[in-house]
A and B are shown apart, each in its own frame.
Chain A
Amino acid sequence: MRSVRRVALYGVLALAAVTFIYPFLWMASSTLKPPSEVGSLSLFPGHITLDNYRKMWERAPFGRALLNSAFVATTITAAVLVLGSMTAYAMARLRFRGRPLLNAATLAVLMVPGQLTLIPLYTVMVKLGWIDTYAALIVPYVFNATAVLMLRQFFLQIPQSLVDSGRMDGMGELRILFTIFWPLAKPALAIVAIFTFMGSWNEVLWPLLVVRDQRLMTLPQLLTVFALGGGAGSIGVSLASAMVLVVPVVVAYAFLQRYFIESMAGAGIKG
């Protein structure tokens, strides 16, 4: 009886897994199919070709866009980790006037939908003369309230005696943060890094607003312009460019998933 239930359970789970993984595998395999086969639902190309990738590379500066995306996402992620953890440390461990207000204000930022600040932020970019610069792509994202609150929550669980001990040993606050808190907060930093990197990597709307120069475009932006603008010419080429977009995130996730799952599980237990 138990084994029957087990088989049924695994059957349902397998079905669910297939519904999630199939579109991705179909996309991956379709990039390797000649145009005549792209319409088929089969996961196995009858004839393997790299034509779609070659055409994609010829028709738009995807290499440059890939580098732009990597540069922008990496810079934002590094800045969010450094600035976010510094803010979180201050909010969790330093005593200063107005700290409760700062906590409340940070929380309040989360409640404002991004779309609402889009236009004011755009105006600021125009006034600063930052349109068509990397600064416009990076600076508005270097401070992230979600990251601050997540890190703060994690930092609060680190015993105060470690901070005291660091101070007695002669460490300044920054050294305590980077040599004690960072190593202990690896899971939290990893999850913040993944979320920030993915968020920044996949961002389309903001780059579309502030960047028009093709040489500065990020990958998803270029892809959108390319595919929607009809530059791709065929579904196969569109899918190939989507593939280029997705692979780095999948690879990053594969490397960091241990932390990702740990911190998700931890968050559940610790409430």
Chain B
Amino acid sequence: MPSVSFEHVSKHFGEARVVEEFDLEVADGELLVLVGGSGSGKSTILRMLAGLESVTTGAIRIGDRDVTTLPPRERNVAMVFQDYALYPHMTVRDNLSVGLRLKSAPKAEIERRVSWAAGMLGLEPLFDRKPKQLSGGQRQRVAMGRAMVREPLVFLFDEPLSNLDAGLRAQMRIEIGSLQRRLNTTTVYVTHDQVEAMTLGDRIVVLADGRIQQVGRPVDIYRAPINRFVAGFIGTPPMNFLSGTIDQSQGTTAFIADGVRVQLPGNRAAARPSEPVTLGIRPEDLIVEPGGEGGGPPLPDVLRGRVLLVERLGGSSHIHLDVGPPPHRVVAAVSNDVLPDVGASVTAHVRAERTHLFGADGSALR
């Protein structure tokens, strides 16, 4: 039985349709990540599951219970908020225990659960402090502890790492992941950061304009994005896109644009000749080599261009290329072995077998 299910859930604020026909099942113990840009509806979905926002149409179930109209306290879910939402006037101990005290849990039980959560998160030394006296990471841990002591059926995380600096964010991401695996509690996690989504999620739901774009394992979404939006959203640096048409004149299917010809592998049955299409190339699927000046007919699977910018990231680098005409800009992710100078002419070999093709409406052509 799924732990959480959304059945045709929609949310409208007056005329604005924030979530449309959201249909999804979350498996027991799964960590599901909702990812999307701002206005994609991801937080609204989470808040509807929490009971903080009403549902316009559709139903939400937790286990076998229909919770669509239940208030938050009757849903047995716990939430970690973006700003942690710790009660500023209460100590860490009180913040952890307040939910249980409100439920009139026995004192011994409260004590046991609070020490258990505090032990797991290393919060004991902070018990008598107030939130103001804690660092960002400590507040984050207290917020997680407060959710844990309730031993809920479902954990909800609403962009919990977005207020932390980069280093702490990476550390807390690992902590949340390992904690979730240890507790094995069903978790719905909302983020706009696709790196968090890729690294944390058992499955990812990519959202745009209140609709599901794609649901799947992170690696599947990365390898086979269902449309141009997903292809551009998942992956850093984002996928490169070239506009062109399909050519089937030589017995094979190829993508052509000015000065570019990329042989498409397999039988892309969905692609029709002369149809405007977009070719997607991941930055790591471009192999940059020096040289390649001059005109001549386009070489298969090669982009010729000039280096606009080299971003050295330490272990690897991003090379920004101008591969016009017409001015096309692409980014290649390369190792640091040989880096071209800015302004140098280079050729970029395309791993044609790993390219993606999108039709005029943005959907993937396979």
A184 and B88 contacting across the interface, CB-CB below 8 Å: yes
A169 within 8 Å of B (CB atoms): yes
CA A167 – CA B50 in complex, angstroms? 10
A36 within 8 Å of B (CB atoms): no
Q: Which chain A positions have C-beta within 8 A of B98?
A: 169
Of the candidates B71, B86, B89, B103, the one whose C-beta lies within 8 Å of that of A183 is B89
Of the candidates A162, A167, A168, A170, the one whose C-beta lies within 8 Å of that of B87 is A162
A168 and B50 contacting across the interface, CB-CB below 8 Å: yes
Of the candidates B52, B84, B85, B102, the one whose C-beta lies within 8 Å of that of A171 is B102
A167 and B85 contacting across the interface, CB-CB below 8 Å: no
A167 and B72 contacting across the interface, CB-CB below 8 Å: yes
Instruction: Tally B residues with Cβ within 8 Å of A.
Output: 23
A164 within 8 Å of B (CB atoms): yes
Residues 150-173 of A contacting B (Cβ, < 8 Å)? 159, 161-162, 164-165, 167-171
B197 within 8 Å of A (CB atoms): no
A180 within 8 Å of B (CB atoms): yes
B72 and A159 contacting across the interface, CB-CB below 8 Å: no
B81 within 8 Å of A (CB atoms): yes
Of the candidates B47, B71, B85, the one whose C-beta lies within 8 Å of that of A159 is B85
Q: Which chain B positions have C-beta within 8 A of A169?
A: 73, 98-99, 102
B77 within 8 Å of A (CB atoms): yes
As a 0/1 sequence over residues 73 to 103 of chain B, the CB contacts with chain A under 8 angstroms (1 = contact) are: 1000111011111111100000000110011
CA A165 – CA B78 in complex, angstroms? 9
CA A168 – CA B158 in complex, angstroms? 13
The main secondary structure of chain B at its interface with chain A is: loop
B72 and A168 contacting across the interface, CB-CB below 8 Å: yes
What residue of chain B has the Cβ atom nearest to residue A158's Cβ? B88
- Determine how close the nearest CB of chain B comes to the CB of A183; give it in whole angstroms: 4
CA A58 – CA B98 in complex, angstroms? 56
- Determine how close the nearest CB of chain A comes to the CB of B122; give it in whole angstroms: 22
Residues 203-227 of A contacting B (Cβ, < 8 Å)? none
CA A169 – CA B73 in complex, angstroms? 6
Q: Which chain A positions have C-beta within 8 A of B87?
A: 162, 165, 180
- Determine how close the nearest CB of chain A comes to the CB of B111; give it in whole angstroms: 18
- Determine how close the nearest CB of chain B comes to the CB of A259; give it in whole angstroms: 15
- Determine how close the nearest CB of chain A comes to the CB of B131; give it in whole angstroms: 11
Determine which residue in B73, B85, B86 has the highest number of CB atoms from chain A within 10 A of its CB, and name it. B85
Q: Which chain A positions have C-beta within 8 A of B78?
A: 168
What residue of chain B has the Cβ atom nearest to residue A170's Cβ? B73
Determine which residue in A162, A165, A167, A175 has the highest number of CB atoms from chain B within 10 A of its CB, and name it. A165
- Listed A/B pairs (23) with beta-carbon separation below 8 Å: A159-B85, A161-B81, A161-B82, A161-B83, A161-B84, A161-B85, A162-B87, A164-B47, A164-B50, A165-B79, A165-B81, A165-B87, A167-B72, A168-B52, A168-B72, A168-B73, A168-B78, A169-B99, A169-B102, A170-B73, A170-B102, A180-B87, A183-B89
Q: Which residues of A contact B (CB under 8 A)?
A: 159, 161-162, 164-165, 167-171, 175, 180, 183-184
Q: Which residues of B contact A (CB under 8 A)?
A: 47, 50-52, 71-73, 77-79, 81-89, 98-99, 102-103
Given A161-B83, A167-B73, A170-B72: 20 more A-B contacts, CB < 8 Å: A159-B83, A161-B81, A161-B84, A162-B85, A164-B47, A164-B72, A164-B81, A164-B85, A165-B79, A167-B51, A167-B71, A167-B72, A168-B52, A168-B77, A170-B73, A170-B102, A175-B102, A180-B87, A184-B88, A184-B89
Closest 7 CB pairs of A and B: A170-B73, A161-B85, A165-B85, A169-B99, A183-B89, A161-B81, A170-B102
